[in-house]
Amino acid sequence: MSVIIDENVSASLDEKLGANVWWKPDIDKKTLKSLCVKRSSPGALYVSLYFIALITMGYLAFITWGSYWSILFFWLYGTIYAFSGAYDHEARHRTLFKQRGLNDFFGYIFSFMTNFEPVRWRWTHTLHHSYTLHTTEPLDFEIQVDRPSKLFKFFVSFIPFGPLLWIHQSYLAETLKNSLGIITPVIDQCVPKEHQWKVILSSRIHMGIWVSIIGISIYLNSILPVLYFLLPTFYGNTFFALCGLTQHAGLPFNVKDHRVNTRTIILNPILSWLYVKLEYHQEHHMFPMVPWYNLPKLHNLIKDQMPKPNNGLISAYKDIVPAIIKQAFDPKYEPPSRLTEIS
């Protein structure tokens, strides 16, 4: 990959790590260039609808507090809140809006919501695109899938509050360490020395907000501030985890072909809106500069060169679950290639 997220970031990584040659579909250059044009109106619409839905569910949870209805509305609020990870991802690519400033502004908001420290993630996400699912050097630090698979952790990750069982291994724990001035291995290896102070500063801001919200909750003698701002990604995790794990789960390592190590699925309109079109993940990895709202167009243009996508989450997990279970007992197991489906 040449330019992934930020030209300066990518150029530095290319110089340090060397370029990779990946399979690319045939597509007209002018058409591709037109698909890469950024617009702000789709992002303004999606972000507005996102916060309207989030605030509505939050309000309903508040007015029904103390009843069983509140459990339902808090779960819906948490579900929407957890999808902040998808919006954070687009802001990190600077494709959520046309304006860089808007991307960075909302990127900081969404990164806090999803417990991702943004400076670290800008650098590691570039590596993720350049070396998708690579376990040799250079390492894809975002996807360090356990082989053999840890079945308990895999299945519990979909259960509300389940991820709290390994919070000590989470990105939030890494942010806490960075806020204390501890440079973790991923920061040391991925973020240039001259930028590491930004990671520490950003981590301290994140942890400062966490401490402030906990303090407000104690002062008010109410769990509501924590329920609204700190815990939603843990109790509303189910559907975001179900969508997110379809991207690479169970697929082969160390293959320079996104048709093999990445998965595209077709989602219903509601999940597709919440997920900001990230279900077109093969297309996104092949052409990461194409904004999210043009991924369906890109999908249709190159679909004859691609394996048939899974139609919905159930179809995807019919492939994923057997592969994960087999990999728990045979770390070298790889599912059958779907490239044979291409005519």
Total count of residues recorded for the chain? 343
pLDDT, residue 342, reads: 80
pLDDT, residue 233, reads: 97
Residue 8 pLDDT exceeds 50: no
pLDDT, residue 12, reads: 45
DSSP codes joined into one string, 3-16: -SS-HHHHHHHHHH
pLDDT digits (tens, 9 = 90+) for 79-99: 999 999 999 999 999 999 999
pLDDT, residue 17, reads: 42
Mean pLDDT computed over every residue of the chain: 92
pLDDT, residue 146, reads: 65
18: left (phi over 0), alpha (psi -120 to 50) or beta: left
**Range 51-58, long-range pairs (CB < 8 A, 24+ positions):** 53/80, 54/80, 54/81, 58/228
pLDDT, residue 5, reads: 43
Mean pLDDT of 212-231: 98
Mean pLDDT of 51-76: 98
Residues 6+ positions from 6 with CB-CB distance below 8 Å: 94, 122, 126
Terminal Cα distance for the chain, rounded:
26
pLDDT digits (tens, 9 = 90+) for 132-163: 988 876 788 888 666 777 899 999 999 999 99
Q: How far apart are CA 317 and CA 170, in angstroms?
A: 24
Residue 10 pLDDT exceeds 60: no
- Please, which pLDDT band fits residue 168 given cuts at 50, 70 and 90? very high
Residue 18 pLDDT exceeds 80: no
Mean pLDDT of 283-296: 97
Residue 343 pLDDT exceeds 70: no
Q: Calculate what percentage of the chain has a pLDDT beyond 70.
A: 93
| DSSP symbol at 333 | -
Residues 6+ positions from 301 with CB-CB distance below 8 Å: 27, 31
3 state SS of 27: coil
Please list the residues that pair with 311 across neighbouring strands.
266
pLDDT, residue 2, reads: 32
C-beta neighbour count of 303 within 10 angstroms? 15
Mean pLDDT of 266-289: 97
Mean pLDDT of 116-125: 93
For residue 165, the one-letter residue type is L
Residue 26 pLDDT exceeds 50: yes
